[in-house]
Amino acid sequence: MKINSPLEAYKYLPQTNCGECGEPTCMAFASKLIDRSGKTSDCPPLVKEKKYAKKLKELDIILAPEIRQVTIGVGEKAVNIGGDDVLYRHKLTFFNKTKLFFDVSDNLEEAALIERVNKIADFKKFYVGRNLLLDGVAIKATSNDPAKFAAAVKKVAEIGLPMIFCSFNPAVLKAGLEVAKDKNPLLYAANKDNWKEVGELALEYKVPVVVSAFNDLDALKTLAKTFAESGIQDIVLDPGTYPSGKGLKDSFNNFLKIRRAGIMGDTEIAYPIMALPLTAWMAGIADPVSASYWETVIASVFTIRYGDIMILHSLEPYAALPEMHLAETIYTDPRTPVSVDGGMYKVGEPDKDSPVFFTTNFALTYYTVESDISANGIVCWLLAVDTDGIGVEASVAGGQLTSAKVKDAFDKAGFDLNKDTNHHTLIIPGLSARLQGDLEDTLGANVKVGPMDSGRIPGWIEKNWPPKQ
């Protein structure tokens, strides 16, 4: 039975408070196990000493997520899907954000195939301090020719991204597995007609597999149960993704039913769910832009409601970027504000005459300010004050941003406004104007109130910099 209390996990630990896990007490480590920021393998005595072997095994079972976690691919680019414990993010968090795989067809000319796969691999968007990337390639056996499919798989495998093999023909899937048996691809898919042959492939090559039954949850559950009983553990569910009308409504409801049943303890259907937004291209929409738009709409619907992995088609930025941003947003951990490390950062190559700004370490605030400054060619110093990842206005109101905090940030950065600049001046955000007097007293320097919006910094600098002596 799943446990949700640190006290329950504590019962299975050595209770020696040895500190080898990096925590001062076993209770603190138990808390990390419950919120999944720690693993049982982080406790050396629990893993190494034989007398704890039984407790370790039991603890791993009761800590396992309600929805099985499945890994696709190998190495650094391997992706995990599933692994969730809750229906609603505010109750804990969602784990393993929705993975976006984009299709290629095996009947493309070699140059076109390589070009599209490279486009998938190179697609990225800088967002709040990191690059958002696409997750993998779904290779469609459009030709239904084992030799042609194997050739396409071989070319795609060279890029190194995780792969999904898409065919209902077991012979085609086997041909792909023969040339990529060590890449841990996901097989799509086993259905009521080919389940035996595809199941045998999953067992033989030890790869994850999708079981598919369109709009038939009883059949889907039967397939999943049959595969599990045969020894296949890494299963993904495909209940069908209809692109419009009543079919789309049924698909949405099916996703809800599956995930609710899995979270509530029905282990026979507690697996990751696959959505297929690329069915938008089968909805009779003639205009490619409209089809791309509708694909994005479908992807958005199933990102919000439990789609763990998706196969899509359009690589146009206006289609792919909203999908990437939504997945990143929905799967942000609400327990931890997105933040950057506090400290002094350089924008360009500043010197003693360059302006000095500060903002908070809330990532969205910091990168917005940094982007507005650097995009306009302003060379400066930018101090990120640690406010526990809270924005300027809220942290001033809540007491996380004070003159003492700003001085402490300067001290930790080893930066003295009176020694390291010729102008002895700090420019503060307009939303923290109330701190001006306190900052002048605390820092012993000039403090000028900047604009309310960082987008107005260039105009402000033009009028107010350098400061008048």
Residues annotated in a binding site for 5-methoxybenzimidazolylcob(I)amide: 359, 365, 389-392, 454
Distance, CA of 261 to CA of 224 (rounded, Å): 14
Structure tokens given for 279? 């069915």
Burial code of 57-76, b = ≥16 C-beta within 10 A, e = fewer? eebeeebebbbbbbbbbeee
Check if the beta carbon of residue 232 is closer than 8 Å to that of residue 204. no
Residue carrying structure tokens 């598919």 = 212
Binding residues: 18, 21, 26, 43, 359, 365, 389-392, 454
Helix, strand, or coil (residue 146): helix
Q: At what angle do helices 457-464 and 363-375 cross, to 10 degrees?
A: 60
Q: Give how far Cα 32 sits from Cα of 36, 37, 273, Å.
A: 6, 5, 27
Binding-site positions for [4Fe-4S] cluster:
18, 21, 26, 43
Question: Is residue 128 within 8 Å of 368, Cβ to Cβ?
Answer: no
3-class SS shares of the chain: helix, strand, coil, % to 5: 45, 15, 35
Closest CA to 18 of 51, 57, 44, 50: 44
Alpha-carbon gap, residue 456 to 134, rounded angstroms: 34
9: exposed, middle or buried (C-beta count within 10 Å: 0-12, 13-18, 19+)?
buried
Q: How far apart are CA 154 and CA 135, in angstroms?
A: 18
Closest CA relative to residue 205, chosen from 182, 227, 222, 224:
182
